[in-house]
Amino acid sequence: MSKWTRRAFITSGIVAGGGVVVGIAMRPGNQVKDLAAKLGDDGANLVHTYVKIDSDNTITAIIPHSEMGQGVHTALGQMLAEELDADWDQLKLEEAPAIGEYAMYAAGRRYLLTGIDFPKLVIPTVDGMMMRVADTLNMQITGGSMSVRTTGILAMRTAGAATRQLLQQAAAEAWDVPVEEIATEKSHLIHAASNRREPYASFAADVAEMTPSYTPSFKDPADYKIVGTHKPRRDIPAKVDGSLKFAMDVQLPNMLYATVVRSPVPGGSVVELDDSVARSVEGVVDVIVIPATTVSSMLGDTVSAETVAVVADSYWSASKGLKELKVQWSEVGFETVSSDGIFEQFNRDISASAERQTDHVQGEASSVFAGAAKVVDADYHVPFLAHTCMEPLNATADVRTDSAEIWVGCQNPLGFRRDIADSLGMDPEKVTLHNHSMGGGFGRKARPDWALQVAHLAREVGRPVQLIWSREEDVRQDFYRPAVQSRFRAAFDAQDNLLAWENTYTNKNEPIEAPLIPYAIPAQDIGYVSSPVHIPFGAWRSVDHSQHGFFTESFIDEVANAAGKDSFEFRAELLKDSPRHLAVLNKAAEEAQWSRPLPEGSGRGISLQESFGSLVAQVVEVAVVEGEVSVERVVAVIDPGLAVAPDGIAAQLESGIIYGLTAALHGEITIEKGAVVQSNFHDYKAVRMNEAPNIETHVINSGHDIGGAGEPGTPGIAPALMNAVFNATGTRVRQLPLSRFDLNYQVEETGAVG
């Protein structure tokens, strides 16, 4: 077992250029000189670490996560600054580079080793092991609402607290006083009895020679001054004044531009290409066929089909040239597939329930249904959905004989570096990836297909190339949120008590707990059947919670109605032994004034969803006039355990609600002849300002483990909305989006559409 010393601290105490850099022990045995060799500018920028103290007393927090509008850099900076007692106004934030030392060891500890109480002595070795696992898997992922609840808790807090304690120890030794008498405040060390006050930077050299505690003492949350308070987002000013550089802002000498097209039916390849007219377009330099590639990662296989690219001296010329291409694509066997056919397949497979797999079984559901006084059943459907980030996919590459440099905004820089290196036949150490802030990610930018394309193009033409996808290519060549069908049954006794819950849906994805319910129902049988389709799928904001939240929270509403009970009161009764869930539900009902009468033609609906460690309840109010639904008000309550950045959480709730509202009202990718029909915002609509409701957010700091904020706001909006529509109209919407239906006409037998 490695002895844990300052060398086990990631860069424990490298002094360079008058500053000290302190990190946490992620890989015992790292050599300081190896780390120093990676510095740029005489040690001013050291990798392998989270904390840098410069000679002017500026502290830099190095953040190993991507910024895509969610404010994670600010939140993680708050966590580090809190434990360090740093002066927030003198704190800088810097994104970590795409190197193995910034792999997500903290996520490995959080999800693979939860519940194991390791002795302090072996924790460095455990973290070293997890670092190697994360490095091997190329995990530098921003997604799954993981950043604060993994890196924040296990890395940023630890680095801040350990650094603070080293500084206190150094000051105590220098001033010859007990360390207990050394206070810290705003990046200064204070000894009140002798009236001494010195900046942290004064002790940088001393700290560099000390052995840090790997298990430092953390602050009592009651003493927090930075965490839990509003701090203006550090990324906002540069976005407002236009100085923030996105990947598309990269300009390199002698740079060319490119855009691409792939087969409308996924998987097709080029049979015949006539590029003569395209090559005659002014500014076009070359037309290149990029071969199909497949890369594998912990996110699954990413298949990038054969692609035709037009390279030119401007994007405009490349785009004009692309429109002049005449491409015949191969048939792949899916040319007759349609959305209707896919859902017919789903229905057949659920009905057959061949090789049904189980998520959760409790009690004897089959026998309960056999003896039930009443059974309620329903089928729900949701379509494929695209991501449609406001920033189109783009990247720039400069590929040389033995090295490559990439500029991109992505959600897994380390994974992208590995995949690009593999595609170029290079060692990953020869690839430098500069990750930029993104104009949205939502899971799409965890897939590297477009980055592989630009690397290939730059190598082929021997010049830097900036690739920009058109919006049409972005919509039609996505990794979509999967379409799903979900079938339910509920059993009652003669007194309308809910006895059993049965659910079978198509195609299990992530996270595994998404279809589970919090309600105390005696018998439960939840499972799925496989029903594969050819449409590529990937992570979409809140992943499978977005589908199952709609399914389960809509059906529990149906069940309440069948029992003749109020939707809120019915849920509350089933949650009486789940105080945390009940508190969130009660708060939402209270803030929304659940029992307050609404005007005729208006309705109110409620939902409750647990996801990513947080609980969210939403109440939606709608007005329905001549079949048109107007979403008037949303009340959202979240219990994230502890709100590190309350204003940031409110913003993420609002953002998640709008994203989910877009899906509920308009979002639909349809398939005809095996290909995606939609192409841009005219036929894949987003919620506009005139459709956006008033959103009220409330945060409960329950003291539970910290949960996520970026995704939990999305799953609950669709069911709360459709429950409100039912409350207003008596029509149950079982299929999304709402725009598919005219609410002036309903299915008379069931009072449902979809």
pLDDT tens for residues 19-42? 554 544 434 333 333 544 453 443
Q: Which two structure tokens, joined as six digits, stand for 605?
A: 């609906």
Q: Check if the beta carbon of residue 416 is closer than 8 Å to that of residue 448.
A: yes
Q: Is residue 666 part of a domain?
A: yes
In this structure, are residues 367 and 650 in contact, taking their beta carbons and an 8 Å threshold? no
Return the minimum-mean-pLDDT range out of 32-41, 201-210, 506-515: 32-41
* pTM of the predicted protein model: 0.92
Q: Are residues 329 and 344 in the same domain?
A: no
Task: Give me the percent of the chain exceeding a pLDDT of 90.
Answer: 80
448 and 595 within one domain: no
> Rounded CA gap, 613 and 580, in Å?
12
| Residue 626 predicted with pLDDT over 70 | yes
**Residues 627, 601 share a domain:** yes
Mean pLDDT in the chain?
A: 90
Q: What are phi and psi for residue 703, nearest 5 degrees?
A: 85, 0
Q: Across residues 165-193, what is the average pLDDT?
A: 96
CA-to-CA distance for 656 and 637, rounded, in angstroms?
A: 13
Least confident of 34-38, 284-288, 618-622: 34-38
Mean pLDDT of 255-284: 98
DSSP-derived 3-state class of residue 358: strand
Which tokens in the block code for residue 525?
């049988």
- Is 155 within a domain? yes
> Under 8 Å CB-to-CB from 351, ≥6 apart: which residues?
none
Q: Helix, strand, or coil here: 375?
A: strand
Q: What is the domain count for the chain?
A: 3
Task: Give the DSSP H or E segment for 359.
Answer: strand 357-362
Q: Do 418 and 562 reside in the same domain of the chain?
A: no
Q: At which residue do the structure tokens 């590297």 appear?
A: 448
Q: What six digits make up the tokens of 490?
A: 């509920």
In a domain, 217, yes or no: yes
Assess contact for 187 and 51: CB atoms under 8 A: no
Do both 529 and 463 map to the same domain? no
> Residue 495 is part of which domain span?
339-385+480-753
- Domain's final residue, options 468, 495, 519: 468
For 285, the enclosing helix (H) or strand (E) is: strand 284-290
**H or E stretch at 418:** helix 413-424
266 and 292 share a domain? yes
Name the residue type at position 201: A
> pLDDT category, 214, cuts 50, 70, 90?
confident
Answer yes or no: is pLDDT of 110 > 90.
no
Could you tell me if 136 and 30 lie in one domain?
A: yes
CATH number at residue 261: 3.30.365.10
pLDDT of 750 reads 60
Residues 105 and 127 in one domain: yes
Which pLDDT score, from 0 to 100, does residue 525 have? 99
Q: Which of 288-297, 300-309, 724-733 has the highest mean pLDDT?
A: 724-733
Question: Residue 5 pLDDT more than 70?
Answer: no
Our CA angle for 707, 713, 714, nearest 5°, is: 125
Same domain, 173 and 282: no
Which band of pLDDT confidence, cut at 50, 70 and 90, is reported for residue 107?
Answer: low
Q: What phi-psi label fits residue 602: left (phi over 0), alpha (psi between -120 and 50 degrees) or beta?
A: beta
Mean local confidence (pLDDT), 323-333: 98
* Reported confidence tier of residue 342, pLDDT bands at 50, 70, 90: very high
- CA-nearest of 283, 469, 489, 298 to 380 is 489
- DSSP string for residues in 34-66: HHHHT-BTTTTB--S-SEEE-TTS-EEEEE-S-
Final residue of a domain: which of 468, 502, 531? 468
The predicted model gives 292-321 an average pLDDT of 91
| 108 assigned to some structural domain | yes
Report the pLDDT value the prediction gives residue 2, as an integer from 0 to 100. Answer: 32
Identify whether 89 is part of a domain. Answer: yes
Per the domain annotation, does 7 fall within a domain? no
Residue 475 forms part of a structural domain: no
Enumerate the β-bridge partners of residue 259: 310
| Same domain as 298, residue 275 | yes
Task: For CA atoms 423, 427, 429, 432, give the dihedral sign.
Answer: negative
Residue 535 CB neighbours (<10 A): 22
What are 217-253's pLDDT values in tens digits? 999 999 999 999 999 999 999 999 999 999 999 999 9
Contact 103, 132 (CB under 8 A): no
Domain boundary among 213, 241, 269: 241
Alpha-carbon distance of 717 to 608, in angstroms, equals 9
Compute the average pLDDT of residues 97-118: 65
Q: Residue type for 427, please?
A: D
In order of 293, 326, 715, the CA distances from 330 in angstroms are 17, 13, 38
Same domain, 315 and 429: yes
Same domain as 556, residue 487: yes
H-state helical runs in 643-705:
646-665
- 319 pLDDT above the threshold of 90: yes
Tell whether 473 is covered by a domain: no
238: left (phi over 0), alpha (psi -120 to 50) or beta: alpha
- Looking at the predicted structure, is the pLDDT value of residue 374 above 90? yes
